[in-house]
Amino acid sequence: MTTHPELSGDDAPAPLTHEQLRELYALMSAVRRLDTAAVAWQRQGIIPGYAPELGQEAAQVGSGYAVDRTRDFVFPTYREMGVAKAMGLDMVGYMSTHKATWHGGMYNPLESRFAPIQAVVAGSVLHAVGWAHGQTLSCPTDSGVAVTYFGDGASSQGDVHEAMNFAAVMKAPVVFFVQNNGWAISVPTERQVAGGSVAARAAGYGIPSLQVDGNDVVAVYQATRSALAHCRSGNGPVVIEAMTYRRGPHSTADDPGRYRTLEEERLAAGEDPLERFKRRLLADGVADEAFFAEAQRAAEEEAEAIRTGIEELGPRPGAEMFSMVFQEPTPDLQSQATAWREESEHV
């Protein structure tokens, strides 16, 4: 892990206990199984689309596990299922958003501290900086920290430049968490990011940065905790670049075989993060084979329960758009909502 010398904070991360290490593995196992299942659900027509995260479990679980859910707020993209799981979201509610039949979310963003899924590339960074700046205005001595996720491809968007510049100038407590998975859809990082590193760009804004092994869940957790402590101490934003690899397609509509071979994928991906962590826990005597078997069983059981929960959901009421999409409906919208409800009562 490369750490910027200016990164500081009073809340240095304590070593993880054996129980916490086992919990991290169980979370990663659950995410891996649910991710694989979600791809199958899309093929079966249960959900219309999904963005897989195979190979990115450590980056997501490690960072999500570090978040303080009593005061921080996460602003995700469309690929942060592992973060949602690590933060304890209702996974039926989270996965149901992929049905594209909801208005405002099937889970409660305020209670979960996890903003609605953002499909606009780099759109979440602007929301995160706005929320974080609000924190400095309302409670500057004990502010929550915004954690915003985006990829190496999204880092080239103009919105990211504006967000980082504003956050640096205003010392907004934001962790810009970049999952560099090697590909911006079909374009490799070396053709997308000048210089090859998103973290290196942080210096241009006067922001400290960390580049961490994104396939090491403990390293990711520690880096995120350190970054959160830095922000919480009033030092402004931090950029984390987690170096990982997208082992599957960009989405269920993508065919990675068009731009890379299976051999290239195997060589570039390196060691599987789940197997790597398992080997470490075994070597350190933290867990045994019985634990891993139980983690796998629990993951399969949970994935099946989530599938059942999704399939049992009824259609979303059309009138929901009037109460969830618009904060202050216009008179015309209010009359439409009234007409909709009256018509529904007579059906």
Confirm if 178 and 209 have CB atoms less than 8 A apart: no
Q: Where are the alpha helices (DSSP H) in 233-288?
A: 262-269, 273-283
Q: Note if 280 is an active site residue.
A: no
Please state, in angstroms and as integers, the Cα–Cα distance from residue 75 to each residue in 135, 312, 325, following that order: 15, 28, 18
Do 246 and 79 contact (CB within 8 A), yes or no?
no
DSSP H or E run through 149: strand 146-151
Per the annotation, the verdict on 250 as an active-site residue is yes
CA neighbor of 140 nearest in space, from 172, 95, 111: 172
Which residue of the set 201, 225, 246, 307 is catalytic?
246
Residue 338, CB-side half-sphere exposure with 13 Å CA sphere: 7
User: Rounded to whole angstroms, how far apart are CA atoms 257 and 305?
Assistant: 32
Of the candidates 259, 276, 280, 316, the residue annotated as catalytic is 259
What distance in Å separates the CA atoms of residue 108 and residue 90, rounded to the nearest whole number?
9
Q: What is the CA radius of gyration of the chain?
A: 21
> Exposed/middle/buried for 23, CB within 10 Å: 0-12, 13-18, 19+?
middle
* Calpha distance 188→260 (Å, rounded): 10
Question: Reduced to 3 states, what is the DSSP secondary structure of residue 60?
Answer: helix
Active site residues: 246, 250, 259
